């Protein structure tokens, strides 16, 4: 495809980004009621229906609109921080969601760890796990959640292609205290019990899943 041959930072590349945002999505999808894969954004918006403005953190954000669990919140006046290891993703976010803070980095359990990343420039499935569908490999240094996020937030979205629990357990939920957390738990996930246990230990209860997206609500005492 043509987009795979575009050099990042070039004029054709920048033109394609604007086409991707303003023609492909703003124009053709402007009347869509949902942008996420399984209607998660509708559930999230309903959950926060009485909160007109709030904050979110989206880890593994991929695209500012396509398959996004936070775009409807953004359209409603919310803002937050989006994190992804793909620089193209962040270029798209900087154009489409300029009110957000958009960070290109690899999240890890400590700062400065050097890790292999398997990727394709326009893929939604870039990962730390080797995959035959991801042809390229590069090394990135990690940053911790606390190093990246310096604000309180109401909603946390985690979609890290199988490394969700690895990062979840590094987040101090007593410090940040989000009301709702959505975390991707795939069918073959070996950490499902660990995720549920961690959430329970931090006073979160499971309330719903839509496809692989599992929702946990803060239990108020």
Give the model confidence (pLDDT) of 65-74 as tens digits: 988 999 999 9
DSSP codes joined into one string, 123-176? -S--BSS--TT--EEEEEEEE-HHHH--S--SEEEE--TT-HHHHHTTS-HHHH
Mean pLDDT for 28-35 is 79
Token digits of residue 73: 């919140």
Average pLDDT of 167-186?
A: 95
Cα→Cα distances 219→48, 65, 201, 206, Å: 15, 30, 11, 10
Helices marked H in 4-65: 11-18, 40-47
CB 95 within 8 A of CB 74: no
What are 213's strand-pairing partners?
A: 184, 210
Q: State the chain's mean pLDDT as an integer.
A: 86
Question: What distance in Å separates the CA atoms of residue 152 and residue 205, rounded to the nearest whole number?
Answer: 20
Query: Would you say 154 and 183 are in contact if contact means Cβ atoms under 8 Å apart?
Result: no
Question: If you average pLDDT over residues 94-116, what whole number do you get?
Answer: 91
Contact 192, 174 (CB under 8 A): no
What SS3 class is residue 70? Answer: coil
If one compares 191 and 15, the residue with the highest pLDDT of the two is 191
What gap in Å lies between CA 217 and CA 208, rounded to an integer?
Answer: 9
Share of the chain above pLDDT 90, in %: 59
Cβ neighbours around 139 below 10 Å, total: 9
The sign of the CA dihedral 75, 34, 82, 56 is: positive
Q: Which of 160, 158, 21 is nearest to 91 (CA)?
A: 21
Look up residue 80 and give its two tokens.
């937050």
**Which pLDDT band holds residue 21 (cuts at 50, 70, 90)?**
confident
Predicted confidence (pLDDT) at residue 129 exceeds the cutoff of 70: no
**Confidence category of residue 27, pLDDT binned at 50, 70, 90:** low
Q: How far apart are CA 34 and CA 43, in angstroms?
A: 10
Token digits for 7? 């050099």
Homologous superfamily of 33-218: Vaccinia Virus protein VP39 (3.40.50.150)
- Tell me, yes or no, if the pTM score tops 0.75: yes
Instruction: Count the helix, strand and coil residues of the chain and give each as a percent rounded to the nearest 5.
Output: 30, 25, 45
The model's confidence at residue 60, banded by pLDDT at 50, 70 and 90, is very high
């Amino acid at each position: 495809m043509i987009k795979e041959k575009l050099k990042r930072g070039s004029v054709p590349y920048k033109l394609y980004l604007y086409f991707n945002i303003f023609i492909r999505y703003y124009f053709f999808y402007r009347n869509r009621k949902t942008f996420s894969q399984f209607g998660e954004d509708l559930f999230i918006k309903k959950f926060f229906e009485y909160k007109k403005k709030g904050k979110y953190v989206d880890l593994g954000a991929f695209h500012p609109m396509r398959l996004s669990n936070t775009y409807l919140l953004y359209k409603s006046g919310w803002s937050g921080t989006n994190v992804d290891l793909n620089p193209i993703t962040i270029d798209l976010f900087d154009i489409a969601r300029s009110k957000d803070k958009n960070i290109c980095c690899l999240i890890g359990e400590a700062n400065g760890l050097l890790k292999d990343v398997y990727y394709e420039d326009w893929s939604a499935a870039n990962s730390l796990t080797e995959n035959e569908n991801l042809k390229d490999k590069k090394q990135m240094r990690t940053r911790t959640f606390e190093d990246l996020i310096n604000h309180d937030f109401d909603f946390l979205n985690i979609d890290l292609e199988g490394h969700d629990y690895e990062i979840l357990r590094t987040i101090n939920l007593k410090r940040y205290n989000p009301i709702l957390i959505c975390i991707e738990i795939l069918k073959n996930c070996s950490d499902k019990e660990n995720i549920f246990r961690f959430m329970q230990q931090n006073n979160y209860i499971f309330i719903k899943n839509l496809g692989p997206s599992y929702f946990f609500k803060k239990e108020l005492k």
